[in-house]
Structure formats: structure tokens, C-alpha cells
Chain A
Amino acid sequence: MLSYIFRRLLMIIPVLIGVSILAFLLIHLIPGDPAVAMLGERATPERIAHLEEVLGLDDPLYVQYGRFMGQILQGDFGRSIHSNSPVLWEMGQRFPATIELTIAAMIIAIVVGMGAGIISAVKPYSIFDHISMGTALVGVSMPIFWLGLMLIYLFGVKLGLLPPSGRLDVTIDLETVTNIYVLDAIITGNWVALKDALRHLIMPAVALGTIPMAMIARMTRSSMLEVMRQDFVRTARAKGLPEKTIVFRHALKNAFLPVLTVIGLQFGYLLGGAVMTEWIFSWPGIGRWMFMAIGARDFPIVQGGILLIATVFVFVNLIVDVLYSYVDPRIRYD
């Protein structure tokens, strides 16, 4: 097991190097001069030339890449071109927000998705099955931002049940420790903030969690149905084991594997792909930040952000792979 993890860790290295090269090149393909972006609309040509020299933009690409990696490896992600603030600090401000939203979305997706999937599999072709699978299909067919706007209008404006957007009521004081507000509120025992943070989380988490929820529901249902047809389940039934035991102990455990893959992949996507949700719900996360940075040609942010997200993605998948063997001891790695 440990040697498997070690080998997987080694395999991550070339992937991350590849990501860094791609991120580096991509940015140099984007039209628009970084020095112009930095100096603004009214910069004189002399200042632009001067800045290009300072930034080393005239050096050959491999020299620039080497310098870039050298700094990254020393933990220096540079400073934003536009705000001149340290990229690492900016990341530290936004990444926790994204993690919080992603985890909340995944919890909703897993709880609701697996729940619906299990019930549908236990009673296939029942009304519940049709409704929940129908809903799941509609869920994956909807533009998220469209759904988000409808949710805000309905629950925020018309019903007044939930705050329309943002992370926390701005007038609530919350001492930040991890910048994951729910966690911070628990740590500092600030129950007002906890309640408010959770209320703010509901809508964006539902909007963001819709697609993974639908995928998990469908995957759970189909893999459970498949398992339920297999011999060992028939045997268990023949032995007269209660249906509950069969479903939860045998079928679910075996059906969990493909579901785990979906969860892992979706978790990775959500971390970097919540651009639209973060935009609609004014969520100060990494997706919106990166989207703005790409538009503004803020190279250090784009490079740092992509590296961060890719690294997390790769590690989440590693964890999923390791969990595989934990859930299913039949899988061996050698």
C-alpha cells in the first residue's frame, strides 16, 4: 500500500511539471503586452520598454520559465501585476472560500445524490425512481448561472428566505483563523456567524452541487442495480438476510467504487470550475479571481492559480485512488 502511494506520488511530478510548462506557455500565447497591462492605458513607450527590461520579458522563454520555477520552488509566487499584492496572500484569501463552497456543494451532492440513487435502485421503475432520475437529468441539462439567478430571485427577493449572495453578512464580526468561515465560526464559538455563514452557503452550494448531485445519483443507481443482480447478492438473499443488510452492507459497498470516481473527479472540477457560480453569488473565490486575472493579463496570478488548482486536483485524485483500495480490498496495487 505505502509503496503504491509512493509510486503514485512520483507519477504526480511529471504531471505537475507538465502543468507548469503549459500554464507558462499558455500565458505567453495570450495577446496583449504584460507591460502594457501593468502600466495602464496611458503609458509611454519608454516606460513600457523599461518595464519589459525589468521584468525580463525579453529573455528567451526557457530562461523565463527557469526563473519562474525557481521562484515557485522557493515559495515565491510573485506579486499581482495589477494590485501589486503578493499572489500567495491573495490565494490565501480566496482559496478557503472556494474550498468551503466546494465541500458544501459536495456534501449536498453526495447526501442527496446517493440517497436518491439508493432508493431508486432499491425500487427501480417506481414513481420515486422516475421522478428522482428525471430531476437528475434536468439537473445536468441546465445552465448553472441560469439556475443560480432563478434561485436568488425566488429565495432571496420574492420569499426573502436566504441572503442573495456573499459569504457572510458584512456587519457580522468574525475573527478569521482559517478563512473558511464555517470552521472559523465553530473555532471561535461565534454561533451568530455560523448560522449566517451557513445560510449564505445554501444557495451557491445547491447551484454548484446540482451537476455532481445528478451524476452521483445516476451512478449510484446504475452501479447498485448492477451489483444487486450479481451472484453474491442472490446468495445473500437466498440465505434470508434482511434486505436492509443486503442493500447497505453488500450492494452499497460494492457500488460505491464507481461513485467514488465521480466524487473525486467532480471535486477537482468544482475547485477550479466554479467561475459562474462564484460570479453570480458574489463568492470571493479562486475561480472568479482567475477569470478576472486572465482577462486582465495578470500573469503571476494565472500561473500561481493554475498550479495551485492543478496540484490540489492531482492530490484529490490520488486520495480517491487510495480510497479505492480501502473501500475494495480486492483491488491490489503491485
Chain B
Amino acid sequence: MDTQIAAKKSVNQQANQSRGIWADSFSRLLRQKSAIFGLIIVVTLICAALFAPYIAPYNPEKGILGDRLQAPSEGHWFGTDSQGRDILSRIIFGSRISIQIGIITVGISLVVGTFMGALSGYFGGVLDLLVMRFIDIMMAFPYILLAIAITAVLGPSLVNAMIAIGIVGIPIYARVVRGAVLSVKENEYVEAARAVGCSKSRIIWRHVLPNCIAPIIVQATLGIGTAILDSAGLSFLGLGARPPKSEWGLMLNQGKDSLQTAPWAVMFPGLAILLVVLGFNLLGDGLRDALDPKLKE
């Protein structure tokens, strides 16, 4: 209920009011243990990315071949990989790439998807029909095969993998945003804005979308996790990051060659992916509950 009451206040006050809502939501978020756990993981990830050069014990891309596939030890906590590089350092530096993957892929899906969903939901009619049919077509394409085909078109690289995953993610955001816009646009404050003669784009961007932000945030948080998983999948198929990048999926793919002789080379990157994706999922779940208090008992 909060959202609507706040929204009914004058447009100018909205910013002030919503800070209150955000603060409320944040305190609700902090009341959930699992969400805190997720938040801790995500914050750790961000710290690792920010301070990677200071905390990583070795250069992540330089190894000594003579020291290859060493078991975890005091010198190398997570052991070394097939090129003799320190796995811990690679995982730490890999956090930068993971964040990059998360932000860029979700960014692509989010921007395009929001644009399509908002237009489609707000204007309805033929435009809606066209956009939704296009979304249907995209969804009918097998997700991973579409991503594979796109990387085949663009050539395998981390950037292209991110673009591919970003593109295949568009329909979800378009649908989420369209649904949210449909439910918001009939609200009184939107009617009011329309009545005072606001331009359509102003109504959409200033009034409708800000009130759809909760589901978008939730979807985006969950989407980062999915994006990291998908990019690991593409790397596994040899279509993602190029060596010697410390991308976790690539590390997993390379470590797989020594699954039995050097299991640490595949265990640790796998665990890193698992933890980080779990973190984003927990945080996304927590946000959902925090931003939509109706769902909470």
C-alpha cells in the first residue's frame, strides 16, 4: 500500500518520499537472514573486484609451467592451474570479470527489454501486438542454442558472449516491465499526469517506470546470477572468454581436463560460481520480499 500512497503525493515530492520507501525496504531487507547472507557474498565479491591487485597473492595471468597443477598448499591456498598460475589469484581477479558480465548482460537485456516492455505496455494496441509477437518468437527459440548461434555469428569472445546472453535475456525484462506498466498505468496519479497534459514520454519515464522499478530491480538481481551461469556455460562450450582471462567459466573448462589428477582446478572455480550466483539469488529473493511487503506475512 505504501507505494501507492506515496505516489499520490505531488510529483515534486516524490523523490523525497521514495527515499523513505527505499529506507523502509532496506531495513526490511536487513531483517532477513538469508538476504543478509546474500548481501555479504555480493559485497565480498565487489570488494574482491575493487581491491584485487592488493589482495591477490600472485599475478593471475602469469604462471611458471614448472609449478603446474600443484595441490593446495601454504604457498598456493587453492593450488595452481595447468599453466602454473595461482588459482586463488585468478578467482580474485575473476570477480572483476563476473561483475562485468553481470552488469553488461543485464544492462543489455534491461535497457532493450524495458524499452520494449514500456512502449508495448503503455501504448497497447498494434504496437503491443507486434512487440509481444516478437517476444514470443524470441522465446520460442531455444535459449542456449540462440546464444550459441549468436556467438557463432559474432565470433567467440567474452564481449560477444555477453552480448549474446544479453540478447537472449531481453524477453524476460520486456515481459516483466510490460506487466508492471500495465498495472501501474491505470493508477490515478498517471491519470492525473495525463490530465495536466504531460507528454507521453514524460509520463512513461517520469511517472510510470519509476513505479515499476521494484520488479525490475528484483529481476535484474536474479538476472546477474543467471548471466554468470550462462557465461560459464558458453565458456564450457568454448564460446566464451579467451585465455588467459581469469573468467571462472573458462577456468572450469580448463580445469576439467585434469578433473582426476588436479580436482582443485575445477572445484574452486565451480564453488566460486556457485557462491556468487547463490549470493545474487538470495539477495534477489530478499529484495523481492522487501520491496513488495504484501508478500511478507
Contacts and interface: CB of A to CB of B under 8 A. Distances in A.
B21 to A, nearest CB: 23
A222 B289 CA distance: 11
A48 interface: no
Given A141-B277, A153-B259, A287-B145, A276 B233 contact: yes
Contacts of B134: 18
A31 B252 contact: no
B145 to A, nearest CB: 5
B205 interface: no
Interface in B142-157: 142-145, 148-150, 152-153, 155
Interface in A5-29: 14-16, 18-19, 22-23, 26, 29
A272 B144 contact: yes
Nearest to A143: B232
B28 interface: no
Interface in A292-307: 294-295, 302, 305-306
Q: Is the interface of B mostly helix, strand, loop or mixed?
A: helix
A280 to B, nearest CB: 9
Given A30-B152, A153-B259, A295-B152, A290 B236 contact: no
B249 interface: yes
A279 B153 CA distance: 22
Contacts of A14: 133
Contacts of A29: 153
Contacts of A141: 225, 229, 273-275, 277-278, 281
A138 interface: yes
B37 to A, nearest CB: 10
A141 B283 CA distance: 13
A273 B141 contact: no
Interface in A25-84: 26, 29-31
A15 B144 contact: no
Interface residues of B, number: 40
A276 B252 contact: no
A26 B281 CA distance: 33
B252 to A, nearest CB: 6
B256 interface: yes
A271 interface: yes
Contacts of A225: 297
A141 B144 CA distance: 17
A262 interface: no
A119 interface: no
A322 interface: no
A253 to B, nearest CB: 21
A275 interface: yes
B237 A19 contact: no
A268 B229 CA distance: 19
B283 to A, nearest CB: 11
A119 to B, nearest CB: 18
Nearest to B233: A276
B130 to A, nearest CB: 10
A314 B149 contact: no
Contacts of A145: 233, 236
A19 B141 contact: yes
A269 interface: yes
A275 B278 contact: no
Contacts of B285: 137
A229 interface: yes
B133 A15 contact: yes
A272 B133 CA distance: 20
**Which of A145, A146, A271, A272 is most buried by chain B, counting CB atoms within 10 A of its CB?**
A146
A114 B30 CA distance: 29
B145 A15 contact: no
B1 to A, nearest CB: 16
Contacts of A305: 145
Interface of A: 14-16, 18-19, 22-23, 26, 29-31, 137-138, 140-146, 149, 153, 222, 225-226, 229, 268-269, 271-273, 275-276, 279, 287, 290-291, 294-295, 302, 305-306, 309-310, 313-314
Interface of B: 133-134, 136-137, 139-145, 148-150, 152-153, 155, 225, 229, 232-233, 236-237, 249, 252, 256, 259-260, 266, 270, 273-275, 277-278, 281-282, 285, 295, 297
* Closest CB pairs A-B (n = 3): A272-B142, A18-B137, A141-B277
12 contacts: A18-B133, A31-B153, A143-B274, A146-B266, A149-B259, A272-B143, A273-B142, A276-B144, A290-B142, A309-B142, A313-B142, A314-B140
Given A272-B141, A276-B237, 14 more contacts: A18-B133, A18-B134, A31-B155, A140-B281, A141-B229, A141-B273, A142-B274, A143-B273, A144-B233, A153-B259, A222-B295, A275-B148, A275-B237, A291-B148
